[in-house]
Amino acid sequence: MGQNLIIIGAGAGGASIAAEVRRRDPSIAVAMIEAGPFISTAACPMPYFIGDLIKDVNHLVARTPEKFRESGVDVRINTRVEGINEAKGVVELSDGTALPFDILALATGTDAFVPPIPGADQEGIFTLKRLPDAVNIKHFIEKEKCRKAVIVGGGFIGMEMCEALTTKNIETSVIDLAPRPVMRWDSEFTKVIIEEMERHGVPFLPETKTLSIEKGTGYRFHLNTNRNEMDADLIIMAVGIRPVNNLAKELGLDLGKNGAVKVNFAQRTSKENIYAAGDCCEVYHLISKQWVNIPLGDVANKQGRVAGINIGGDSMMFPGVVGAQSFRIFNLEVAAAGIDEREAATSGYSPACTIIWDSAITGSMPNANEVGVKLVADRSTGKLLGAQAIGKTGVVSRINTLACALWAGMGLQEIGYLDLAYAPPFSSAWDPIHVACQRLLRDMQSGAVGACDL
């Protein structure tokens, strides 16, 4: 009662904490400090804002500083927390002032990682992490002549940016150090993704390392790579992110393997009065049974709410995640949940896998497209460990169903007979989920080795 809470970072995680504490305990004085100009932003739709599907940047802001202030939250934007003086119980702000705290909540997110490539600091080379990045990229495309773009990094952000840039009539290529894009998905599925990219004029260049970026002649930039030379007017660096943990380190908080803040199920860090939520911290993976850093918006929202409930005087535990994730590339939906066979093996399971291709809807219906479903299960228990899917329709709904099965710890036998809604425009009587489960079960029972990427 009557305590001061300071939330550092006002993205999905921080804003969720503030809203929840406000709802629970009006006696707590809440201040939310944000280094950037926006708060409560939705970063996930940024590629669609750049591609002009979303026109107005304000549609990416869930709640403005004014709205938060009306509810009694002291919001400071364009203000960075530079340091924390625990002995004095104050946070030191970039405007030279200090604010007292009893409880701290870290929601500092991640920073985009830029490899040390000579020339990577020029105007026209962007990372896409926060809303100002998206505004700057969009502004650059509108202002400058952008005929060619190179996306460095074939992760899911790189994939989403293919669609955004080609929509703006920019000839786009993707290069990656890895042999294929989005390595979380099976090679059979990433082959389909590469074909979809090529159909839309976007080549994927594997095992390609950017060595330097020089000023170009015909185009703004000239990239030298280990395999070829490329021209571009715009470069997007999408090679990875790192948890922002400078303040956590200063506080001496326990950190996990990749530097994310360790928390418990109540979102409390290794210090009693310090909480963390969102991309900057770890989350428990219900399948691998490890604490991991999975930087996703839905997880940040949930962790923020749970932290807020606990700070606000009630009790709630965040049970963890099954790693459900999806993205779209042109006309393809791609989704996954759980773990793949490699992670299953390192987590102590004995994985078996299968991939099936089946009609997403009843085959006799017009426009029946195939959906690919990959399942990973544990040979010794028959439990589902992971699922991946790809296709033009019906992908995310199937992965969400399988995410529930993973959450519930279900086995292939049960999932293979799950009562799922059937009508010809949506599935067949035996849904691809049933078909995949029963195939894998048969393979496991007969001792046949499933199609594994191991």
Ligand X SMILES: Cc1cc2nc3c(=O)[nH]c(=O)nc-3n(C[C@H](O)[C@H](O)[C@H](O)COP(=O)(O)OP(=O)(O)OC[C@H]3O[C@@H](n4cnc5c(N)ncnc54)[C@H](O)[C@@H]3O)c2cc1C
Residue 35 interacting with ligand X (CB under 6 A): yes
Q: Given the rule CB under 6 A, which of 44-52, 252-260, 328-336, 358-366 is the region that contacts ligand X?
A: 44-52
| SS3 category, 432 | helix
CA angle 446, 447, 450 (to 5 degrees): 105
Kindly state whether residue 239 participates in binding ligand X, applying the rule CB under 6 A: no
Q: Which of 5, 6, 12, 182 binds ligand X (CB under 6 A)?
A: 12
CB of 438 to ligand X, least distance (A): 31
Collapsed DSSP state (helix, strand, coil) of residue 196: helix
| Interstrand relation of 204-205 and 171-175 (parallel, antiparallel or unpaired) | parallel
- When asked if residue 279 is in the footprint of ligand X (CB under 6 A), the reply is yes
**259 is a contact residue toward ligand X (CB under 6 A):** no
- Contact residue for ligand X among 30, 75, 105, 107 (CB under 6 A): 107
User: How far apart (Å, rounded) are the C-alpha atoms in residues 164 and 157?
Assistant: 10
Residue 255 has which token pair? 């950190």
Sole window of 39-47, 204-212, 362-370, 421-429 interacting with ligand X (rule: CB under 6 A): 39-47
Q: Taking CB under 6 A as the rule, does residue 147 contact ligand X?
A: no
Q: Which stretch binds ligand X (CB under 6 A): 105-113, 115-123, 140-148, 396-404?
A: 105-113
Least Cβ distance, residue 232 to ligand X (angstroms): 19
SS3 112: strand
Amino acid identity at 258: N
DSSP state for residue 80 in the 8-state scheme? -
* CB 260, CB 241: distance < 8 Å: no
> If binding is defined by CB under 6 A, does position 128 make contact with ligand X?
yes
- Span of 8-16, 261-269, 392-400, 407-415 interacting with ligand X by CB under 6 A: 8-16
Region 151-170 residues binding ligand X, contact defined as CB under 6 A: 157
Taking the C-alpha atoms of residue 287 and residue 427, their distance in angstroms, rounded to an integer, is: 28
Only segment of 19-27, 107-115, 350-358, 365-373 that touches ligand X (CB under 6 A): 107-115
- Known catalytic membership, residue 404: no
Examine residue 129 and tell whether it contacts ligand X (CB under 6 A): yes
Is 295 a binding residue for ligand X by CB under 6 A? The answer is yes
Per DSSP bridges, beta strands 4-8 and 241-243 are unpaired
What is the length of the chain? 454
The DSSP call for residue 418 is: -
The smaller minimum CB distance to ligand X, of residues 248 and 352, is found at: 248
Instruction: Judge whether 50 and 132 are in contact, CB under 8 Å.
Output: no
DSSP reduced 3-state for 23: helix
CB of 305 to ligand X, least distance (A): 12
Question: Of these residues, 44, 281, 353, 452, which one is catalytic?
Answer: 44
Return the closest-CA partner of residue 159 out of 133, 194, 127, 135: 194
For every residue of 385-411, DSSP letters joined together read EEEEEEESSSSHHHHHHHHHHHHTT-B
Nearer to ligand X, 110 or 397 (CB): 110
Nearer to ligand X, 328 or 379 (CB): 328
Question: Using the rule CB under 6 A, is 114 a contact of ligand X?
Answer: no
Amino acid at 445: Q
- Does the footprint of ligand X cover residue 220 (CB under 6 A)? no
Nearer to ligand X, 10 or 223 (CB): 10
CA separation for the pair 36, 172 (Å, rounded): 29
Indicate whether 278 belongs to the interface with ligand X (CB under 6 A): yes
Which of 22, 24, 67, 80 is close enough to bind ligand X by CB under 6 A? 80
**Degrees, nearest 5: CA angle 63-293-331:** 70
Binding range to ligand X, per CB under 6 A, among 97-105, 122-130, 249-257, 383-391: 122-130
How many CA atoms are closer than 13 Å to the CA of 112, on its beta-carbon side?
Answer: 18
63, 130, 184, 383: which one contacts ligand X (CB under 6 A)?
130
Report the C-alpha gap between 38 and 252 in whole angstroms.
29
**For ligand X, the closer CB: 216 or 256:** 256
- Beta-sheet strand order (sheet of 234-237): 125-127, 234-237, 148-152, 171-175, 204-205
Smaller CB distance to ligand X: residue 300 or 387? 300
Rounded Cα gap, residues 14 and 6, in angstroms: 10
3-class DSSP assignment, residue 151: strand
Least distance in angstroms from the C-beta of 138 to ligand X:
13
Decide: is 300 part of the binding site for ligand X (CB under 6 A): yes
Contact call for residue 305 and ligand X (CB under 6 A): no
Pick 300 or 436: Cβ nearer ligand X: 300
Smallest distance, ligand X to C-beta of residue 80, A? 4
285 φ, ψ to 5°?
-95, 120
At closest approach, how far in Å is the CB of 221 from ligand X?
21
The catalytic residues are 44
List residues near ligand X by CB under 6 A: 8-14, 33-36, 43-44, 46-47, 80-81, 107-110, 128-130, 157, 244, 247, 278-279, 295-298, 300
